[in-house]
A and B are shown apart, each in its own frame.
Chain A
Amino acid sequence: MKRLLLGLLAVAVAGSGCVSGGQVRADSEVIEHDIERARRQGAMKCAPRELATAEADVEFAQGELSEGKSGPANDHVKAAEVAIKRALELSKGCAPKQVLIEHGPPVVTPPTKKPVVIKIETADKDNDGVPDDLDKCPDQAEDKDGFQDEDGCPDPDNDGDGVLDLNDRCPNIPGPASNFGCPVPQATDKDGDGVPDELDKCPDQPEDKDGFQDEDGCPDPDNDGDGLVDAVDRCPNVAGPITNFGCPVLDKDGDGIPDNLDRCPDEPEDKDGFQDEDGCPDLDNDADGVPDTLDACPNLAGPATNHGCPVGDSDGDGVADDADKCPTVPGPKENAGCPWPDADHDGIPDKDDKCPDVPGTADLQGCPKKYKLVTVTKGLIEIKKQILFKTNSSKIIGRTSGQILGEVAQVLKDNPSIKHVRIEGHTDSTGTELHNLKLSQDRADSVKAALIGEGIEPTRLESIGYGQSKPIASNKTSKGRAKNRRTEFHIVNEGEQTPPPPTPAPAP
């Protein structure tokens, strides 16, 4: 029956896994040993009440342990412990130092004779209740801890795990000192992520092992919590907007322009209102070589001598006034802002004009075109033959006169640089002066009309009759009077004033 109870007790203790139950069981075993010792000491005689109490309470405790009632069992064990201690105390010196062993059935002898007995003295030097002849360690008292107590030798480390029983919470089961001598339970890992369940905050979800908080056992699908799962997050551990693929918008130079828009991400924009949106500093906005910090006109190119401000160009020829020797007249830079000289005003600078004193055309490098009846000289279109008029009339006559006028008209067409031509009419001294003056005017007008008829703009033409006031030869001879009857074409360019009528030359 006792074995059955012990078996049930062991099953109950193993099943419950309750530490206090195991302790109660261990204590009851110790008390059982003490009961045996008390019996040997003669407690049956000297402390029968205490012995009976201890034995009964131990049995009650074991019965309750078998039913899993560790609390009541503990109460009985404590009662038993008190009782057995008292029993041991009362039975000190009560046990006989001799053990009486009777061999065979009691011998019936006459009442007058004492029974034959064999007395064997048994010593117990260490007083541990194990006779020396059975005690493997007769000089060391057995520790009576329920573990191999019958050999008489103390076992300071029952399970041999290196942790003394005094410090061993599981004295009969090997275990490391780090776990107080108890065995370390095998770690389980349900999700197989390598993190033991006891350390795994998510034992049913495998850790994603992405290097981010892998020790907690929980998968982190979005490490940086920016709302973009790590699988598509280019910066999974740094929060960033979705528009930047989960990466933070950086501004390394701190100029307020994100690096992805900053052409110079390592140089801060100077924010001076000039191309500030590109993120690059513009230290010389106008690129005039004068740094903006020293440039009074940072956005207008100008020489350092003018504090970076531009110098004016009054004539708009591209040559600044301070370098323009003719600031009011446009001229090339090569000529220090002054126009090239053009003496004949034919539009071809003298330097390029092979005939600088005679208006000419560009195709003839400034030289006049050669005509049959006309020669262009400086200030004059000379006609090689005179234009003929009807006597006392302004009517132009003769074939040659028409040819002459045709060539004069051609000269004017070929030389647009000839802006203005003064047509002068002259007579000889025959007749009255007033009549001659009027006749010369009419003839000049007639020539002008003829040239207009040739296609010359009227504004280029001016007609003046001088009468007999400007003879070029003597009026006393017929040859002289013929020379005086003449028509002249004077080139009067723009800006040139019509010379005043010359004083009459003295007749030769």
Chain B
Amino acid sequence: VSVTWLLAWRNLWRHRRRTWLTVAAMVFCNILLVFLISLQLGSYEMMIDNTLAVYTGHLQVQHRDYLQEQRMRQTVPGAAALAARLRRELGIATVAARGEAFALASSEERSFGIRLSGVETGFEPGVSTLPGLLREGRYLRDGKVAEIVIGSVLAENLKVAPGDELTFLGSGRDGSFAAGVATVVGIVHSGMAEVDSAMAQVPLGWFQEVFAMGDHGHAVVARLPSLEQVPAAVARVAALLGPLAGKGEEGGELVVLDWQALEPGLRQAITSDMASAWFTYAVLIVLVAFSVLNTQLMSVLERTREFGVMLALGLRPGRLARLVGMETALMAGLGLALGVLLGALLTWHLSRTGITYPGMAEMAARFNMPERMYPQVSPVSLLWGPLTVCLGALLAAVYPALRLFRLQPVAAMRAI
């Protein structure tokens, strides 16, 4: 075997330039793939993390129709108690109950329709980054105090500052008229227009009082240490909710939703981005495969006489085909090694400095991403692309190798 490998290796260098050009095509493609895939994986994870950290969390317990219809009466009974239970059962502190309602908010000068969130003030900072983004004042204190924290753009629109009062008009869970007055204590500035112009949080206790919610809320939100733990946690919470279903009609209507259900756009944005990325990768790989096909076909054709002699000496065509396969494998292996090495170096360098391009800032603002992207080097991102290129190259050698089986020794030896 080692002799055949040696022969294959020597054959490769009969045409140095051609071999190097073909290897260069593979190396170019590999570097590009390593870089692009690293960038892609890095940005997806960042996009998911950043989006979920703002408000949504990794999983939520809701009334089964609340996500679709968001109606006031689709509630989670005993929301705070359920949140406490989940904290205990999951062994994490980052679980909080919320209530949500639409209301007309009026300051002395302005009125706006807003979405009001009632939050557990002690636990909300654990599930959402918003409480940490205070620009002025302080975050909410406990219990049933009539206080509110709002987004910076909303504050500007309502012309209020900490210390001012806001009046709310809306309807309660039972459809009754709901009204309340709360003092602005803090203003949050996140830089995300959507959040800054809409966010309004009040203590859950006060919220439940004003909107006639009793002990109900609309969601229990949990934030987990990492994305990988989501499926297990969802299963766990679903199991916990199971017994509730038997106890009362209301409890049976609860569902656990993971982040993909809560933010379907996120997964789909990634899917559609992946689709266009796959297209690019596939085109690159096919083009490199063509390059290999051409090289190997040439190298087989120009050795027709040589192969004819070998066949005449009794070598089986299969052995020759294997030789061509080995040559391709060596070439592809060289391309793989160099591509991974150079790709890793480039990506590693860029993962320290970060990259940005024109239009990136606007794009980033829309997708909750930072303005510089840092590719993520991992075994998957390093090896996936180059291995596929390698495979493509080997497949491309099939046609030239098959031609060997059609070779007639006598005719081949006479070929020019």
Is chain B found bound to chain A in the same assembly? no
